[in-house]
Amino acid sequence: MLELARVIQARVLEILNIAGASVNKLPTSAMRPKVEDALDQVLRELRHRIPSGIQIEKFRAVLMDDLIGFGPLSPLLRAPDISEIMINGPDNIFVESKGIQYRTPVRFNGESHLQSIIQRIVEPLGRHIDAASPMVDARLDYGSRVNAVIPPLSLDGSLVTIRKFASKKLTDEDLIKFGSLNRPMAQFLKEAVRSRQNILVSGGTGSGKTTLLNILSQFIPEKERIITVEDSAELKLTHENLCRLEARPANIEGQGRITIRDLVINTLRMRPDRIIVGECRGAEALDMLQAMNTGHDGSMTTCHANNPRDALSRLENMVMMAGFELPSSAIREQIASAINLIIQQTRLPDGSRKIVKITEVCGRENNTILLQDIFTFEQEGYDENFKVVGHHCATGNIPRFIDQLRQSGDLELDMSVFVPEA
């Protein structure tokens, strides 16, 4: 069947009188009718060579995916329940669905087939990958994020990771339904965003930081001017006064790179009410903290860390990457005055994603940043299906900004959310 598929595809390209590379570069919407007509013609011509047990419609769909889609990846990309695709060479493809990873029967025809699909993914996006530049990050038109690594960096075949983003816009009600947080926590976070607290979302890879940042952003009043800065655009805000900025890698000649830090610095000239940085990874942390400390209250960002204390250490290290000889005491003073809340997001062993801590930054004492937990997740064990069992609870601590809002008469939150369960 593999040889027959190659013959059919070659004949289709011959009828269209175009090279395969040209097909790759043209939009699918423009090519599809022509390719479908040519494919149907070839299938009629060669119907005597197609084994009787083959379902023609399925065979035709596979051929179309290979001609103008992403080959074997196309069904995985279309599947709504698959959130991540991990390709470890042409014969080893895993997916994540509902928090669980498993190996699929999907295969490429070989390394060259896999690399041709990688090229088909990245070339229309203006990216390039070859032996001299064997690693690329890209974002598909519909928002999915792609990372590809090819030999000689990858030793056992090309590697591709695709993180898909749900077409359905999630809300805080969805997170409550999923058990990621409870209703008092959602009400508290809504009040924190409304009252312009600066928020850091902390968590590991794939823990749900971007999803949570999207939902927090929905609490921002509609009329505010928001500027988002991301490495690959993933945030899905719908505010009318919204400016979206995306970093740009260097071109093939090594020129034209625009970093996250460049964009964060530029946002300060764009009259933002709030700045949202998709993820702080380096020196841009310094500029983000300075923005939070100079009138851009209510800004938000994320970072990779395993707990709130670790998140502060990560921020401190990132600030030091800016190249300024700042003493640690000065950096910690910046952090303590800039960040109001840290939300710790975690992917648990059963694949579920939960907020495990909402922590207030309470200032600084000597050279230590003071923290207090407002809400936590208490894990109790596992059920018969190996699902995590536990509950979210208030600690009884009341954040300082809540007391300030109460004294000023601007509090819109029921104080009962802070009462610990009996």
Domain span holding position 23? 2-163
Tens digit of each residue's pLDDT (9 = 90 or more) over 317-366: 999 999 888 899 999 999 999 999 999 999 999 989 999 999 999 999 98
Is residue 264 within 8 A of residue 318, CB to CB? The reply is no
- Which of these, 149, 161, 279, 287, lies nearest to 214 by C-alpha position? 279
- Residues 44 and 136 grouped into a single domain: yes
Residue pLDDT, tens place only, 194-239? 999 999 999 998 899 999 999 999 999 999 999 999 988 888 898 9
pTM of the model: 0.83
| Model pLDDT for residues 132-151, shown as the tens digit of each residue | 889 998 887 777 889 999 99
Domain end residue (candidates: 136, 163, 190): 163
Domain limit, last residue, from 163, 183, 218: 163
How many angstroms separate the CA atoms of 335 and 315, rounded?
8
Which CATH number goes with the domain that contains 107? 3.30.450.380
Give yes or no: residues 263 and 289 share one domain.
yes
* Closest alpha carbon to 168 in 228, 229, 211: 211
272-315: per-residue pLDDT in tens? Answer: 999 999 999 999 999 999 999 988 999 999 999 999 999 999 99
Amino acid at 184: P
Q: Which of 230, 186, 111 is nearest to 358 (CA)?
A: 186
Same domain, 221 and 287: yes
- Provide the number of structural domains found in the chain: 2
- Same domain? For 159 and 27 the reply is yes
Q: Which of 80, 77, 134, 83 is nearest to 106 (CA)?
A: 77
pLDDT band at 58 (very low <50, low <70, confident <90, very high): confident
Same domain, 391 and 307: yes
Q: Domain boundary at 107, 141, 163, which?
A: 163
Q: Residues 100, 195: one domain?
A: no
Residues 94 and 205 in one domain: no
CA distance 128 to 157: 18
Say yes or no: 274 and 326 in one domain: yes
Asked if residue 413 and residue 271 are part of one domain, the reply reads yes
